[in-house]
Structure 1
Amino acid sequence: MIRQHTASCLQQFAQCTVTAITYRTSAMHRPLLALLAAAWLSPTWAAAPIPEWREGDGYLVGVAVQYQGQTYKALQSHTAHKGTNWNPAGTPALWQLQRDPVQRCAPWQEGAAYQVGDKVRYEGGYYRAQQAHTAYQGTGWFPPKVPALWQPITQCDAVTPVPPGNGETINGIKVPPDPGAEGRRTLAGIDSDNDGVRDDVQRFLAKEVGQHPARFRYAMEMARITQQEILAASENNKEKVRSLFSQWIVAHDCYFRTYKDSVELYSWRLNFSKKLTALHSNTPERIAANNKADELASGKLYRSPIKANCD
């Protein structure tokens, strides 16, 4: 299914209003939104503080915030639209109170000494030290360049493991087995590791964007939401489809911020989107459900967040 979007934005991080008009394409193929993405955040040299919750912001699933002196973790991607009062203390469906300290990755720093197991973030990706070492200046031991020293991870937690013998590794990510023709027999397909993403889609994403941990994480969240949209559309659940599309916007914003600007790898990204569209709509039943999702989502204004909290 294709959705054509019209959008107006004052500037990066400003409030944007997006109208979804249905044509035919996959729920993952929302190309114009890509042009609303990408903003660089200035690097800091200390672990990022947990931000205060703010009305109007968007929150990716797993993001931690402070609210009234307590720490909460987002249970699903969403935008805290003004007037809804979806604060962490009052919306347990969206937020979970954290009793234990929330682990944050500090940024990688040239010249710093690292021990085995130390976790860092670098240019939107996350890594765990595999050897004790010092990142001496001039060595160029940037995490993505030296896999002998750094293992890609998703944020501060490892990628969901697959039971031994039941998968393989693609770009350092453990993935489920290829479901083959069996994976196309039903609308839901096969999700053997129960992470909400079809096994064939997960393998595709690991191959295409798995070398960039943050990009893979956000793409997986978009795919998880898309799969829920497809299933909700098959049940003709308009409200759920619309709610899921709002969640998708946040994950989409986070995904495109991993690119330096709106035109970086544009041709590759367009081709990637086409292939992913085909994968989400690779049976007549899935095509019909995708088209139904577009129909149910149409006719509503969707507001992108003032700021997307991705980390």
Structure 2
Amino acid sequence: MHRTAIPLLTACLLAPLAWATPPLPEWRESDGYLIGVVVQYQGQTYRALQSHTAQKGANWNPASTPALWQLHHGPVQRCAPWQAGYSYALGDQIRFEGDYYRARQAHTAHPGTEWQPPRVPALWQPIQQCEPVTPIPGNTDTINGIKVPPDPGSAGRKTLAGIDADQDGVRDDVQRFLAQEVGKHPARFKYAMEMARITQQKVLTANGNDRDLAKSLATQWGMALDCFYGTYKDSTEDYEWRLQFSKKSTALNYNTPERMESYVKYGELLSGRVISSPLKMQCD
């Protein structure tokens, strides 16, 4: 009995290890999903292409909304969403409403020109998926173990969009700041980068007078912020540091007269709008 009890006890102690990795969550209506979250739906695996709330009654399930969800067969290569106001170089890769494109020629997508990728095949070539961006050797720095583009200096303040050398949707100066401030905590860095991507979209789209887009970006930013705060054990942990981080981040994002003007314009677009957060968040 003694010899039999030992392996049985060992098996009982080890059994939970087989279940240590939780299953992927099932997609649910009304939940909030941060970009990159992976879910199950009707036996398939999907990855969120953008942060959003699955509005009740909207039928935004993964199989029906390719702009929000991508069928996931392996690692997904991220690429920045197309934005009016950006200056694109030959070969730049972007995503637009669930599809992917490569720039056929260098150009600036001037606001108001309606130069969205599907409308201008002379400028954009459809591709199946974004390819990984390979940094130029020697043209990156490392901050807290994170490879970041070089400091753009004053050149990064010459345009509204600034400089985004690695095409990840975040200005290089902002990315360097975040790597320095929260780079030692991978989850916080990831969520801070998502907030920065959404903030950049706010800056670049504020002059378009699209109030629905402004509200959508506000909701997405709030979701990323909730996930960022979720990395702390409670609401008071590092409170003073977080307060200063927020102030410095805001000052950096809107550090030119043009960007500040865009910030004010974006606030005007939200005037009178009700911004609500989902009851349940999936933070990846």
TM-score (normalised: structure 2): 0.71
C-alpha displacement of 1:236: 2.4
1:169 aligns to 2:142 (yes or no): yes
- Secondary structure at the aligned position of 2:276 is classed as strand
Picking from 202, 214, 227, the partner of 2:175 is 202
Report what 2:20 is aligned to. 46
Report what 2:247 is aligned to. 274
Picking from 69, 73, 79, the partner of 1:95 is 69
Higher strand share: 1
Report what 2:123 is aligned to. none
Picking from 14, 22, 29, the partner of 1:55 is 29
Q: Give 2:56's aligned amino acid.
A: K
Cα distance in 2 for residues equivalent to 1:181 and 1:163 = 21
Q: Where does structure 1 differ by over 4 angstroms across 4 or more consecutive aligned residues?
A: none
C-alpha displacement of 1:201: 0.3
Cα distance in 1 for residues equivalent to 2:34 and 2:236 = 24
1:283 aligns to 2:256 (yes or no): yes
Picking from 259, 279, 283, the partner of 1:306 is 279
Report what 2:106 is aligned to. none
Cα distance in 1 for residues equivalent to 2:49 and 2:239 = 32
Report what 2:3 is aligned to. none
1:253 aligns to 2:226 (yes or no): yes
Report what 2:165 is aligned to. 192
1:178 aligns to 2:147 (yes or no): no
Deviation per CA, 1:84-104, whole angstroms, max 9, x where unpaired?
2211111110001123499xx
Q: Structure 1 177/60 Cα, relative in aligned 2: closer, same or farther at 3 Å?
A: same
Higher helix share: 2
Q: Give 1:255's aligned amino acid.
A: F
Cα distance in 2 for residues equivalent to 1:52 and 1:306 = 16
TM-score (normalised: structure 1): 0.65
Asked whether the 8 Å contact 1:59–1:78 carries over to 2, the reply is yes
Report what 1:69 is aligned to. 43
Larger Cα Rg: Structure 1 or Structure 2?
A: 2
- Secondary structure at the aligned position of 1:301 is classed as coil
C-alpha displacement of 1:80: 0.9
C-alpha displacement of 1:160: 7.6
Q: Give 1:69's aligned amino acid.
A: G
Cα distance in 1 for residues equivalent to 2:177 and 2:187 = 16
Report what 1:224 is aligned to. 197
Query: Which segment drifts farther, 232-241 or 178-187?
Result: 232-241
1:239 aligns to 2:242 (yes or no): no
Q: Structure 1 215/182 Cα, relative in aligned 2: closer, same or farther at 3 Å?
A: same
Deviation per CA, 1:113-150, whole angstroms, max 9, x where unpaired?
xxxxxxxxxxxxxxxxxxxxxxxxxxxxxxxxxxxxxx
- Secondary structure at the aligned position of 2:275 is classed as strand
- Secondary structure at the aligned position of 1:298 is classed as coil
Asked whether the 8 Å contact 1:161–1:174 carries over to 2, the reply is no
Report what 2:89 is aligned to. none
C-alpha displacement of 1:49: 1.0
C-alpha displacement of 1:271: 0.4
Q: Give 2:219's aligned amino acid.
A: S
Q: Structure 1 275/93 Cα, relative in aligned 2: closer, same or farther at 3 Å?
A: same
C-alpha displacement of 1:261: 0.5
Deviation per CA, 1:149-198, whole angstroms, max 9, x where unpaired?
xxxxxxxxxx9864321111000000000000000000000000000000
Cα distance in 2 for residues equivalent to 1:169 and 1:161 = 15
Cα distance in 2 for residues equivalent to 1:263 and 1:99 = 40
Cα distance in 2 for residues equivalent to 1:296 and 1:58 = 23
List aligned pairs for 1:18-37, cutoff 5 A.
none
Asked whether the 8 Å contact 1:222–1:252 carries over to 2, the reply is yes
Report what 1:140 is aligned to. none
- Secondary structure at the aligned position of 1:66 is classed as strand
User: Which sections of structure 1, spanning at least 5 residues, go unmatched?
Assistant: 1-43, 103-158
The alignment covers a number of residue pairs equal to 212
Asked whether the 8 Å contact 1:162–1:174 carries over to 2, the reply is no
CA RMSD in angstroms comes to 1.9
